[in-house]
Structure 1
Amino acid sequence: MKKSLAKTLNLLIVVIGITGLQSAIAQTAHDDKITYSKDIANIIFEKCASCHNPDGIGPMSLLNYEEVRPWAPLISYKVQMREMPPWHLDKTIGIRAYKNDISLSDQQIATIVSWAEAGAPQGDPTLMRSAPDLPDAGAWQLSTLLGEPDFVVQSPPYTVTANAQDQWWVRDTPFEGLIDQPRYVRATELKGSYPLGVKVLHHGHATLRSVDGRGNRVSGPVGRQGVGKSGDVFSDGTGMLIYPTGSIRWNLHYFPINQEVANEQAEAAVWLYPEGYEPEFRTRGEQFFAADTGPGGLWAGDIVLPPNSIKSHQGVRVLDRPALITSFRPHMHMRGRGQSLEAVYPDGRREMLARVNKYNHNWQIAYEFEDDVAPLLPKGTMLMLTSTWDNT
């Protein structure tokens, strides 16, 4: 069974980390002359171009030397502070192999810093490979892997005002006529409309609510999106069962961009397994749970965070069946500082699975474990989620 779960560094480690980076910078300074064409372009193409392109969510395009050169000092600063590329995991603890790791190595950071300090030379343009072929910004990202989706559902229109606070919008729409029998879902993706909807949609959920063959209410995600995460592909042999009728609950968080976006409609795409296919494992998709709270759950208004204070909350959930954890996606809002996920096994052993120690609410990254290290937890394992907020 697969179940995707989404729901502080001591001084010694910091000193070691900084010393290691300084050592890498010193070594790089003695290497052959670092240039954009020979060294920097490849790093940017690999780690930055997916966002920093004319249609991307980055504030500037970085696809050629003319675009990169004016930003060299800022790029150097951002990578030294590990603010860019966005990857907020503590690399010193927990599982360390991720499918979607876009962080820079110490050597890559040192190369960028040395290049910027040397005046950001271009070098020989003939040594530079071509800019990467980027997917159509308005297309489904999973279509390159899975082809076109089996069906797409669309939210009602909503106008995002130009200058305002963040806007949360919840609506229900009927779900009918798209499938004629229960089917297993292979993958889902949620996005805003192109070109402006993708820029104002900070994160969102599309949840299909139905009734199963025994009259029980069931729900499952047909889209979970955040800046840094757009879709989910279930592991081989794993599927989520959905039913032909019901309703879709849209829960969308919009972020104004100083430009009105009229009649914005989010879309959720679904890829199905073939008719009659029975997966070996069945999942409910990404699920939320409220740790150590009553039926109403724990919400932002329930957390008292006075000025100049730091507060942690720890909750647990005991698994009532074995579960495979395939990703970790913290969500804490603006005062969030860090969040960790720990497993306490039935025999008393404890294992830190993942810890984000530099949480940034501008990003909603799902940290996807590599298949060979994704934790398979037995029934009775206690999941311990520790969250820290900082209002200093």
Structure 2
Amino acid sequence: MNAVRIWSQRTVRVLTFAAAAGIVLAGDAAAQDVRQAGIDEATSEATYYGAVQNVLTRNCVGCHSANAAALGGITPPMELTSYEMARRWSSRIATAVKNNYMPPWDADVQHQGTFKDERYISDEDKQILISWAEAGAPMGDPSEAEAVVSSADVVTRTAEVAPDGSLWRAGVPDVTFGFQEPVLVCEEVEDWQPRLPMQVVDGEITEPRWIRSMEINTGPSVHHTVSSHLGVGVPGRGPFEFPEGWGILLTEDPYVSISMHYHKEAGPGTAVLDDT
């Protein structure tokens, strides 16, 4: 069951949210050497195994992979973990990074180094992906794959599996909220923004508690979510953890609601059930 989970504490300590989104870039010298090698190759012809696989591993596959936890309630529409998969989407990848649509991070580059779990992609990595797509997405030599992958400076946050089989990046929660029953998003719906009540579906709240972190896990037809108690779910947001000394008070009998924005193609066969 997809749901919203919160982590709470009885004392008013500041809630420092868990590492969101899976990939944190760390710049050591060895990794910079590998990146530069990929950049030099890209000036002639970037290949998947020569440079692109490394770039995708650093910047994309934390979300675009099988069984990855939905970040901010969004399930990526494709995997980018193999040459065959990445080649199919090469033009879209190039367009997305060229227009700064991916990775999902809106803060201007002048603020780089300010925020936790930033999602900036370097100009060098962008150019490798663009050059690769423009060259027709060549595969390159598969024998280079192991060296490239092992050199990627990737730090991932492994999702924990709850008893019901759901995946959560911030760990097993104290309390889980969900709908009383799945919401039907009908065939004729293209955009729909209902405000819906949520109830405790796992755990209990017997006294007021301070929320220190929260994570929203929704279905693929959800564009974004907003809740006063449960935070915001948007592409790339991931789990949220409050800074030290801050939090949201949750009473022992809370009324929790969430504003959903469903977005999908309308037409026959497009109806879905959402079990956020």
Q: Which TM-score tier does this pair reach, normalised by the shorter chain?
A: 0.5 to 0.7
2:248 aligned to 240, 250, 253, which one?
A: 240
Is the CA contact (8 Å cut-off) linking 1:191 and 1:230 kept in structure 2?
A: no
Change (3 A) 1:237 1:204: same
Is the CA contact (8 Å cut-off) linking 1:161 and 1:256 kept in structure 2?
A: no
SS at match of 1:246: coil
Q: Which amino acid aligns with 2:82?
A: N
1:59-90 deviations in Å (ceiling 9; x for gaps): 33211111112333343333223333233333
Distance 2:199 2:104 in 1: 37
Change (3 A) 1:40 1:182: same
Does residue 1:265 correspond to 2:253, yes or no? no
1:121 aligned to 128, 138, 152, which one?
A: 138
**Offset, 1:2:** 7.0
1:179-218 deviations in Å (ceiling 9; x for gaps): 22222222111222xxxxx2012222344xxxxxxxxxxx
SS at match of 1:128: helix
Does residue 1:200 correspond to 2:221, yes or no? yes
**Offset, 1:111:** 1.9
Question: What's the TM-score, normalizing by structure 1?
Answer: 0.48
Residue in structure 2 matched with residue 142 of structure 1 by the alignment: 170
Q: Which amino acid aligns with 1:184?
A: W
Question: What's the TM-score, normalizing by structure 2?
Answer: 0.65
SS at match of 1:252: strand
**Offset, 1:164:** 1.9
Q: Percent of counterpart pairs with the same letter?
A: 25
Distance 2:199 2:91 in 1: 51
The structure with higher relative contact order (CA 8 Å, sep 6+) is: 2
Is the CA contact (8 Å cut-off) linking 2:180 and 2:199 kept in structure 1?
A: no
Change (3 A) 1:226 1:82: closer
Does residue 1:77 correspond to 2:89, yes or no? no
Q: Name structure 2 gaps, 5 residues minimum.
A: 1-12, 17-35, 69-74
Change (3 A) 1:55 1:161: farther
Q: Name structure 1 gaps, 5 residues minimum.
A: 5-23, 193-197, 208-220, 267-392
Is the CA contact (8 Å cut-off) linking 1:184 and 1:242 kept in structure 2?
A: yes
Once the two structures are superposed, the pairs formed by residues 90-169 of structure 1 within 5 Å of their partners are: 90-92=108-110, 97-129=114-146, 135=159, 138-143=166-171, 148-157=172-181, 158-169=183-194
Distance 2:94 2:114 in 1: 26
Change (3 A) 1:227 1:112: closer
Q: How many residues align?
A: 221
Change (3 A) 1:239 1:68: same
Aligned-residue Cα RMSD (Å) equals 3.5
After TM superposition, the structure 1 stretch with the greater mean CA deviation from structure 2, 41-50 or 133-142, is: 133-142
Residue in structure 1 matched with residue 258 of structure 2 by the alignment: 250
**Offset, 1:44:** 0.8
Change (3 A) 1:95 1:81: closer
1:267-306 deviations in Å (ceiling 9; x for gaps): xxxxxxxxxxxxxxxxxxxxxxxxxxxxxxxxxxxxxxxx
**Offset, 1:103:** 2.7
Does residue 1:172 correspond to 2:213, yes or no? no
SS at match of 2:184: strand
Is the CA contact (8 Å cut-off) linking 1:36 and 1:123 kept in structure 2?
A: yes
